[in-house]
Amino acid sequence: MEILAFGVQADERPLIERAFHGHDEIRCLDVFLNEDTAPIAAGHEIVSTSVNADLGAAVLEILAAGGTRMVAQRSTGFNNIDLDTAERLGMTVARVSYYSPYSVAEFAWALAMAVNRRIVRASTRTRDFDFRLHGLMGRDMHGRTAGVLGTGKIGEAFARIAHGFGMRLLGWDVAENPACMELGMRYVPKDELLARSDLVSLHLPLMPATQHLIDAPALKAMRDDAILVNSSRGGLIDTAALVTELRAGRFTGVGLDVYEAEAGLFFLDKSLEAIADDTLARLVTFPNVLVTSHQAYYTEDAVGQIVDTTVKNVLDYREGRRSENVLVPRS
């Protein structure tokens, strides 16, 4: 059986091919799954997709008509998948429910420290042999307060690093994490966390209840000199509202590895094209903003675990087994 994998990055391809060797043939494509590319999957019972694939109703209908019966998503998030339509079409959908939380937590801290210590600006200057320190002053993290919105595995890993810096910890989640409380974290209402935190980091899934969790009122509740980091899902932040606050001169720094309208942009080379997204174009012009292209998970360790789990999901589907990774079971 040949499996068709969409949206495979060059660094990811050898890991996927090696993991599937001895199980199934796999054909890797660098194009992302959408309405235009879905017909390529005709005749493939199993397709594997990336987090920026379009798996809405229209795409799922095309896949099902072409004979696809299983979608193996290579990510934890699944907000891009119309699960109701998949169930109606009798398609099995599986995801990767767990991979290294350290990959994302460490990258979130890389963003936080980069904007705090003006690393990008400093690097650009030194390339031009400009060694002035003017405008590069940052702040110690020791003794300051980190607010962690979402204290699951990734949020806990982020909190452990913050604890290592000697920071006070505030948390907000639907359930308290005992491991975070052992670090000294206090769970408080969201508005209190935003008002008291020097650093706010988001580690929540995207769902209707968390869409634009950080909206205009939430941003106004934050300290003027706070640092905001999002390495989770772009839709957690109302980006237009964020741009408004940045234009008013607020926030020491903002580090974003995700963007709410990243589909069709992130993971692609758009350097020779005019970007039609005015919000993103404005966002990247602020000197205190650092935007990266959804790479927090992108370590050998995490991608290796994602690929291995994807192989397991495919084998489970073929053998009729069900695991915690299955979002829509085999009918």
Q: Catalytic residue positions?
A: 233, 262, 294
Burial class (CB in 10 A: 0-12, 13-18, 19+), 146: buried
How far are the Cα atoms of 49, 52, 142, 242, 307 from residue 167, in angstroms, in the given order?
A: 39, 34, 5, 25, 35
In this structure, the number of other CB atoms found within 10 A of the CB of residue 255 comes to 26
110, amino acid identity: A
How far are the Cα atoms of 51, 114, 260 from residue 292, in angstroms, in the given order?
A: 16, 12, 13
Q: In sequence order, which ranges of 185-249 are alpha helices (DSSP H)?
A: 190-196, 216-221, 239-247
What does the DSSP assignment read for 124-170? HHHHTT----TT------TTSEEEEE--SHHHHHHHHHHHHHT-EEE
Spatial separation of the C-alpha atoms in residues 50 and 288, rounded to whole Å: 30
CA dihedral 87, 305, 231, 81 (to 10 degrees): -10
Torsion angles phi and psi, residue 255, rounded to 5? -115, 120
C-alpha Rg value of the chain to the nearest Å: 21
Here the tokens at position 9 are 């990055």
Mapped onto helix, strand or coil, the DSSP state of residue 322 is coil
Spatial separation of the C-alpha atoms in residues 286 and 130, rounded to whole Å: 20
28 beta partners: 5
Helix %, strand %, coil % of the chain (to 5): 35, 15, 45
Spatial separation of the C-alpha atoms in residues 315 and 292, rounded to whole Å: 34
